[in-house]
Amino acid sequence: MRRKDIEIKDKKIMFDIMQRADECCLAMSLNDQPYVIPVNYGFTDKAIYIHCALAGKKLEIIKQNPKVCLTFCVDMDIDMRGPANTWTTHYQSVVVFGTAELIEDLKERQKGMNVFLTHYAGKGMDFEDKHLAKVMVIKVTINEMTGKNNLTKT
């Protein structure tokens, strides 16, 4: 990381940022063409879970290239005090590099959905298999995480 002065090294702080974010952006690439979309998610200390439809562009890309990147950002504020060349953006962010897999097993989908629901609702719930069969769960195994804290205002 270039800006060591704002680097977050503590994973607990990174996980706190991920907990406070409402959504993240999922980046993928296929044939040198990037594709980035906002998604809802849940996470553990080892993986991020995303739910989606059973078909679509992100699934097709992941099947061919499972390497993904996710960005979480909170406390965004553009500081426009002073001349434009002194403006800055204050924020806290986490970037996760990982490997995505499509969860086909319904019991594993249930686990992923509970992680997802716990992030937003504070608890999971049991789904009938017929409902789990109608959604896909993507599990992103966390390979690397970086964080930045640029909240200091001068």
- 27-69 pLDDT, tens digit per residue, is 999 999 999 999 999 999 999 999 999 999 999 999 999 999 9
Q: Where are the domains of the chain?
A: 4-75+86-145
Cross-strand pairs, 34: 29
So what's the architecture of 4-75+86-145 in CATH?
Answer: Roll (2.30)
Q: Average pLDDT for residues 138-151, to the nearest whole number?
A: 94
Cross-strand pairs, 74: 92
pLDDT over 60 at 154, yes or no: no
* Helix H or strand E segment including 25: strand 24-30
Count of other CB atoms within 10 angstroms of residue 63: 12
Q: State how far the Cα of 105 lies from the Cα of 72, in Å rounded to an integer.
A: 28
